Structures are given as C-alpha cells and as structure tokens.
Structure 1
Amino acid sequence: MGNKNISTNLSSLVKWLRVMGTWTPRTDLELETQVWSLQDLYERKKKRRIRIPRFQRGPVWDEDAKRKLINSILNNYPIGALLLFDNGNEVSVIDGLQRIQAIEQFMKTPAIYENSDDFLPDDYWKKVSRKWKQKEKTFKDAVHHLLKEKEHEEIDHLQAYRFQEEIEKYLQIRISDTQRRHLYDDLDSFIQTLSSMYSHVKEYKVPILKVSGDRSFLPTAFELINTRGTPLTKYQIFGATWSDFGVSISKAKGKEADLLDRIVDKVKERYDGWQKANWKLDFDISEIDKNNLSLYEFMLGYSLCLQDAFDYIPGDKNEPEVGFVSMFGYHACKVGTRKSVMGSDFTGIVLDSLSIPRTGGTEKAWKKNCGVISNHLLKVANLFYNAYEQIGREVDFLNKVKISSARSENTLYHMVCMANWMVTRNRSSVPPEVIKQRYVFDIIARMWSGTGDKRLFEQSKQSGYMKKIVPAEWDGIWKTFLREQEHTFDTERKALDNRQRIVLKAVYSCLQNVYQSHSTGIVFEDDHIFPIAGLNLIYETGGPINHIGNRSLIQKDPNRKKGSSLPHEYLRTKSGKTEERELKTFWGLNDNTLWREMTGVSKAIETAKSSNTAKDKKTARAAYLKFIKKRSEQMFGIMSTVLDI
C-alpha cells in the first residue's frame, strides 16, 4: 500500500515540477521517500520536530472530517502521502497539516474520534446495558464519556474492574460483587477491542515525501497540491500564494498607525493560537510588523478589526477565515474593473467607521491591494492553464473574464451596498445638506454614463419612476445633480451589451427596495446594525442579477400612465427572459432559493426587532451570519467558474 502511494505521489510531483518551466529536472530540489508509522509521526510532533510554515492555513478541519480520517485508518484505507520539507532535524509541513493534527489528537485522546461500534457485535450494547439494568443509550453514553477523558496511555493500561468502578460512580449506582464478576468479561472484551484498535493505529504506515533544497518552492507546491482535489476552499489557496505579496504602509500617523498596529496584533494572535496548539512555527512571530505583512495577513487582520467594529460582519474569533471570506469577496469582485471601486466612498465609510483619516496610506493600500489581487488571479489562472494543458481553451477563459469584468463594474451591487450603509446610518433623517450623500447619486450617474444609453436616462426622468423611489427630501439635490451630470452621457453609443442591459434594468428594482423600505436597518444597541434592504447585495457577488427573477421586487408603478414603459419591464419580454436564464445558468444562480433564504433572515430580524429579547436577537444574528457566509462561499464557486479551476 505504502509503495504504491509513494509512486503515485512521485509521479504527481514530477507533473507539478513541469509547470515551473520547460521540462528539465530541477537541480535545486532533492526528493526522499520514507514510510513512518503513526506512532513515529506522533512522537515527532510531540517533541516539536514538525514545523508549520507561515503560508499554511492553520488547523481548520472540523470534527466530522477528523473522524472520517480515523475511520479510514481503522479500516486500513490509504490516507495519502504527507509532503514535508526537510530542515535537518526538523521538517516543515507542505501538505498534510490537517491529517497530522487529527492523528495527533487521536493518539492523545483516542476515544474522541474512534467508533468501536463497527468492531463490536451488533447486540453488544443492548445485552450489556440490560445486565447493568440501564437504558442502552444511557449506559453507552456513560462509557464513551469516561473514555473520552482518558489519554492513550491510560487506555493502554486500563483494567476492567477499575473501569467498572468508574461506571458505577458516574451512573451513581452500586452493584454486588457477584454481579461485578458476571459483568467483568463483557467490559474486558470491550477494552481488549479498543486496545487492538489503538495498536493498529500506532503501527499504521503512512508514506512520506521529504523535499529539501530551495525553500521558495514551498508556497507553489502548497498551491499546486491543493488544487488537485484536496478539500480546500479557494480563499485558502489564494491566501497561501499571496504570501509572496507584501503590504507596507509607510508614513502612517495617528489613528491610522494605531489601526495598523491592531492589524498586526490580530495576525500575531492567530499565529500564537497555533503555538498554543503545540505547533512549532517556521518563523518568528516577534519579527512580524506592519512593514512585512503579506497581503493575506493584511486582509485577515483587517477583517478581524472590522468584526470588532461591526457585529454584522460575518466571522468567529475562533475561525477568522470566515471574516476573511467577506473581505476577499469584496476585493475579488473588483477583478477586471477599469475604475477601481476601492477609490469610491465605500472605503471612506469603512475608514470613517474605524475613525481613520481617509487620505492616509490605508486607503492607498486598499487600492494597491485590489490591483495586486487582480494581477495575481490572472497569474494563478495562467499557471493552472499551463499545469492542465488547457491553452486551447484560452478564448473561452478570456470571454469569462470579460463577462466577470462587466459584471463587477456594472451590476452596481456596491452602489446599493453604499446606499444601504448611508440610509442605515442616517435612518432618522437624511438631510440634503450632508454632502456625503452625493456619492450615491454619483455612482448612479457613473453607471448610466458608462452604459451610454441617453434614451433610457431620459425615459426614467419622464416616467417619474426615479422621482418616486427617491425620498422627497432628496428631490432638490437629485434634480440638481442630474442637470450637472447630463452632459456626461455618450450619445453616440446606440446599443448596450445584453448583460449590461439586464443589470441596468434590474437595478431599478433594487433601488426601489432600498429607498422605499422603512426597515433598512435596526439598531439593537450601539452600532449593532442589521441591514435588511439589499441584504444579499452587501457580500454577495451577484448583486442585482440575483434579483432579476424576484417578481416581488419588480412591481409596477401604480402612478405610471398606461402604455408607458418602465426599464425593468424588459425582463418580462421573451428576449429578456432568455437573457435572464442564460445569465443564471452561467453563474449557477437560483433566485428562488436566494429569495426564500433572504425572506427567512428578514423575518428573523423583524421578530427580534419587535420582541427585543436576547434569544430572538441571537437567532437573528445566527441566521444573518449563516446567510452571508453561504453567499460568500457561493462567490468562490463563481470565481472557480471564471478561472476554470
């Protein structure tokens, strides 16, 4: 079994090396194959002779994944080779971190992940619990609870009569000496089964590929390995490969410098958590500062700072990558944009909320990061195409990128997001003299000027549709702004790209929902705000596209004259429905499911708003975070489609 795995992985490694350039064997890397028992692996980890590199994602497997791995080992199934970098007396993990962590936990407290039921007679627990005069579930739970508290060495030396006493004490019962003698054999056979299972795990052999030489190979190897079937989310792959891109913000002063210090502290806390999990780091935490953060670390730390500032930014302090999904999602949506939205007031609002000057280096870093990510994603895409020999599909790939670019720039989901922010933060009154409000209209005008359809623009003014959806107190500034912007429209462009047309039509429905809703946000306490209007637009890539089929949001204007045409009515035509269907098929969207989920979240928030109880608030928050996380994960599926990975 071991030799076959080694051969397979060596063959794969040769393929990985081919993508480094013209096929010639690398002379700066040496390969060595070994076979370790899990006991060998456990002892090395316990003695801190296995390191974790800085580009690694950290321990992220859930309990179910760990249990499945242990079950594979117990059934003698192969679990794949571990790829390690040889540092002399120590090794660094390139691939296999999650497996090593699961194995270590099993070796330390094996009953956590074992499933002895598979190796016992079907009626074992039923017969034994009857002898103990206990319900089957009660007795079984008691045995497993006591075992889960024992370390490996304790179970190795566990004696049946001692274990009997522990069970009696736990169940608060007493049995006679005669009963104890009758029950001894049952418990003894159970303990022997456990010992046999654990002995098998100790001696289980796992193939090891040890690489030595050029350390710059490590992030590339991690990326290539984890795009070949290992269950690894795309943002974790990008997070690893982004380790080559540094973020340095010079001349930071005042509150901006304080924010950078907080970002660094968040990153250090994450790595400190790895050390507390008994991992030896391949780098010195004390050397990390604001001048040598990687792009991944910068965004991760930033997302954690935002989580501290806003309760509705998804994430868990124990699982920081969840918050990072949102940050990456916002950046990744901008890939291919000609005008970086990072230069818009969304960044300014975030900085204002964190009390950071808007003209400092932080905002520049956001813009710079957007460009770096854009270039890097294209670089990654090229690498994948070389690796999988898909050069022939280059045209298809470029078409997807082009569609993605148009979608990112013209869907205006970020415009709705910003409108939602503004209305939420100023829900009591929205005075026209507040100059920051102009950015909403600025983006609307920018979108229209980008599409160049003056007829559609004039039509919207004549129909009174925009006047209806904009609050009355904004009417003056709205009219003034339209007069200022009218000259910017390109009158020579006669036709719109079909996808831009659909997005343009759909935005009216979204705007109507944003501006007419009286529940754009609720404040539980301080800045604990739940945006309702445009809920799925904030972190969800699809933006208005996902609202195309939501007939509940596409309502006829009751004040419009008979025969007049509203822009969104195009969606009801045969060609409009065809385009809508094509878009949804391409992006894998299901608006009905999305709408049901969004409605459920909105109901939970409304319930919390009316009851104002801690329980309902907790339920609403959980539903909201679950929804946002799912939308963020969907975004990575879309990115995978675009990059064809």
Structure 2
Amino acid sequence: MAKYKIEMMTFDELSKKKSIPRYQRPLVWTKTQKANFIDNISRGFPFGSLLLYRFDDKDKYSLIDGQQRYTTLEDYRNHPEAYFPVDDAGSGHIAGLLAATGINQTPEATQADLRGKIVKAIKDMFRLNASDSQLSPTYLFDSIADFYPQISQDINAFRTITDIQAKLINDLNEYVDLSSLQIPCVIFTGDKSELPEVFANVNLGGSKLSKYQVFTAQWDSYSVSLTKNPYSDIILEKVIARYDKLTGDRDGIEIENFNSEEMRRNRNITLPEFCHALGELIIEQSDACWPKSAVDKDDTVDTIGYNSLAIVFGIPPQELSGKPANSKGLGAKSGVQDSFRNSGFENDPEAVERLVSRILAEYREINGRFARYLKKPGSTQAYETSRTSVQLQFLSFFAALWRLRYGRVKSTDFEPIPGYKHNGYCQTQKMLFPCFVLDMLNNQWKGSGDSRLANYISGSNDYYSAGAFSESRLQTAIDSYLEDNEHTGNINADPIAKTILTIVSNSQAHLYGGSAYDVEHLVTQKALRSKINGGYAYKTCSIAGGSLGNLAFLTSEENRAKGATSLPDSGGELFIFDGSREFIENADLLRQANYDLASRKSPDAAKEFIRNRASLILDKLVSILCS
C-alpha cells in the first residue's frame, strides 16, 4: 500500500496550507541556481516535487523537503527584479527606452551610465509592483525624468515610456505566474517515525535534509523552558545567534515565528533548537576531541547534540524519534522527544540547567583525558584532531560514563548511582584513551557507528572490562597497522600517524622547547618525488613517505637544517639538535636514505629507515598506554 498521495497546488494554496519548521537549515542554493530554477519554470519545464507531512494535532502541512524550491519561489514573489531578465536583448524594451528618450544619441560613456540608471529604475518598479504598492502608470517616466530631465516636457517620450511600462509589467506577470503555477506536492501518509528513512531514499540527487533536520519539523511542538542560569543563558543566545545568521543567509527572507526580543523575554525554545545549541556547547568545551571548525558544521553539531540527549534517556541512535508499534500494537518505544517530556524536563527549567551541567561535566572529563595526550608540541591550546575516528566514537565515551554514573534518566530528580565509582566508572575513565587508540588503529568505527554506539548505551560493550583493552590486542593492532602502511606508496601525512606522534611527543614534552612545531617529512618530499622509471619514486617503489616512520615534529629552523644537510657529501650535521628526540637512532641512515633515493634511484635505505623508526615510535606508544 502506498504511503503517500500526490496533489497539485498553486503557490497561494501551498502558502496557506504549509508551515516551514522554524529551525530550518541554511539555504544552500546559490544565486545562479535560484535564477536557473526560475528560468526553468518560466519556460514551462517540469520541476521537482515538494514533500509534505501533517504531524499530530497540526492544522497545516510541514514542508519537509523542497525548502530550496519553495523559498526561491517565495523570493521571486517578493523580489522579481532579481530574476526577470530586464536587459534581455530579445525584449527590445531597453532599446525602445533609449530611443524614446534620445539617450541613444548621447556619447557612448554617457549612454552606458544612463542605460544603467534605466535598468535600475525598471527593477525598482518591479519591486514596488510586487509589494502591492499602488504603482503609478507614469512611474517609469517620472523616474527617468528625475535623472534625465530633458524628456520632462516631451509628450511623445511620455506616451512611449508609459506604454513600455505597461508592457514590462505584463511581461513580468507572464514570466512566472505564481497564481496559476501548478506545484507538485507529495504528501507522506506513513508514520512519522518513518520520515528519516524516507529521506534516505527520496530525491537522492538533491540537497535533502539530514535526519536531524527531519526531527526539527517532527518535534517543533516540544518546548524547553530555560532559567537565567549560566548554561541556559548560553543556550538561549546560541539559538538567537543562529537565527540571526540564517536570516542574513536568506537575504532578508524572514524565519517564521522568530523574534529575538520575545524569545529572550519568554525564554522558551523548541527541543530541536535545544539539541543543536547543546551540540555547540559540547564541541566548544571539548577542544581536544573536536576541531573548532566542527561548530560550523550543522550535521556534526546535530549528531552530537541529539545523540547526547538520547544517551541520557538510554535511547540508541536508530530509535531517536521512537519506534512504532508492529501490526499488533506491540513494540512501540518513546523517542527522545517523548522521553524528554514524560520525564518532566519540558516544564522544569531548573532541571534542564542541571541536566546540561551534568552532561558537560562528563564531556569535560573526557576532554581532560584527551588533552593530556593530544596537545601539540610547543602549544598550550592547540590539539591534534586530524585523526580518522568518527564523532560517534566520542559519543560512546560519554555513553559509557553516563550509564555507569546515572543510568537511564527517567525523571528530573535523577542522581548518581550509589557506588558508581567502584562499579566501573573510574576504570572507564582510565581506559578511555587507550581504547580510543586501539579502536583508531583497528578502524573500529568505520561503517558501523550507530550499532556500536547502541551497544555502549545498553551496556553490551564497555571500556572497563578485560575484553575492552589489553597489551596483546594493542600489539596485534600495531602489527596490522604497520603491515598495511609499509608498502603503501603515499606522501600525504597520515592522520593516524600524526595522532600517534602527538601522543609520543607529550610523553617527553620537556624535549620540545620551540614555540611552533610542524609535522615534516624526514626522507624529504623532494627525494620522494625524484623520478624512477618515469614516475615518482614513492609511487613507483611503494614508499610510505607520509606514514609514521617518516614524519616528525620540527620547527621551521630544524626543518631547514635537515633539508640542507641531508646528503652525505654535505659535510654537516643532520640537525641543529639531538635527533634522538624524534627517534632517529642513526642520522647517517637518514642521510643515506635521501642520497640513495635522489641520486642512486634506490629505495631500499628509505624503506628500511621508515620501517625501523616506525617500530621505535610504536614501542614507545605501547609503553605509554600500558604502563
């Protein structure tokens, strides 16, 4: 049985029947894309449908997919001057105006200037016409006479220009007639919990919404009341700031039902707004876990915010919006929105403040553990966040700690579980980072993030038992990592290698006195790019030039010295410091590796140097994590 129906609506009908969820994503179409869309419609060509859904107790349909198309039509209605091809040579209107006014007889420079002013006057006329203002039939003549008074007493010019004005308005009305335009609308009639899956399959080539943006529409009736306490204040201001930015991005298209002063006065936001702001807060307070730029990525912020709140209520990622009952009415489960409301948080602002405070406390605990290992050499605030792990891995750390400390929250008066520290919590704290490294080496979070996270939420997996981490498992992962990288021809710095280098450097931070260190190649990129058999050496000979064994933290001075004195005939030292800091046991081997690769076209010394140095660094990593 089909779970949808199709209706054709005019723009006016759709405007009356639809609502756009307040917290929509930024508009992603460029001006060119919007202009092409309107041009396509003006020529009578078909265009993509809009997807609508009527949520429980709602009078109007929520516009779920097709926001770009709808808002472009809305923008055309309000600003047709931005789309109508006023200067289209085929229309002849501009040429007629230039002839009627005599401007076409003026010098070329003067003519170009006055022509621009005429085009502006026409666009102003279109804008006034769209605003339902009473447009004078002599508006265009009066506008041109203001900057070209020579025509003010010319009755022939008056008649011609007023006639052209009427034709321009008629052409505009026929260009895209929104009153008669038939818009195809697909109305989904299935269960609201199925909407995320719908978006995984509908309109695959378009800029479809993420599942979190679907929840925005689905949960807009769930509210959050905020106190005037610190975290609630921050969340409120983040919501307002985001709307201000969205308004700017939309070139003046207003966001429905948003007023910053009213929001500050009422201190009420929707649950989706709360989740997004919570995600921003978590990222900002977890600088050793996520790069600062993550706060600008909506899907990352939503993933963190929505799932963190879901973890509080013991809800896995697959069931964020709830689980519908089967055909016999069994198996229904509450989603985040219903759990938030049923546990009493919706109308308890003090409990919301306490909840946010406790969520952030766990993330600060995680961040502190990571900051100890991931601080970049020579820096007090920058952290290595280029690793290839995924964000759900960090959510699993939060899930593991929260489950042990609070369990599944069912009411606003939740408190820590008695004895939680001795029941795995403290051991989990200790093992988070070693487990992070083990999972990173094994690529455990690639492609199975949701199901793995669900296991940590339920307690099927943990980070404190003997099976979570062991030295033998770490060594096996290291051996596999070395084997995978040893014969992979590459020159770009491996993110995992950069993370491992950072961990090792923090174990001997006293050896790094410079203020700025960069990850540099030891066997130089110049040598790696030397030609062997017509190709780059690192590709032709499968040299892991961007792997752990060939990367080191160097200052710019150290890197220049290394590059200038790499070859045996240089007669100089390899570094201006002790190379053992970077696990270089024998500087001659590095010099020989560069020389052989660049001059003798032999990769053997380079491969041996990279392999041996990687083993030394990884031995150090084992001692750090297993001590």
Q: TM-score normalised by the shorter chain: which range applies?
A: 0.3 to 0.5
Alignment TM-score, normalising by the size of structure 1? 0.45
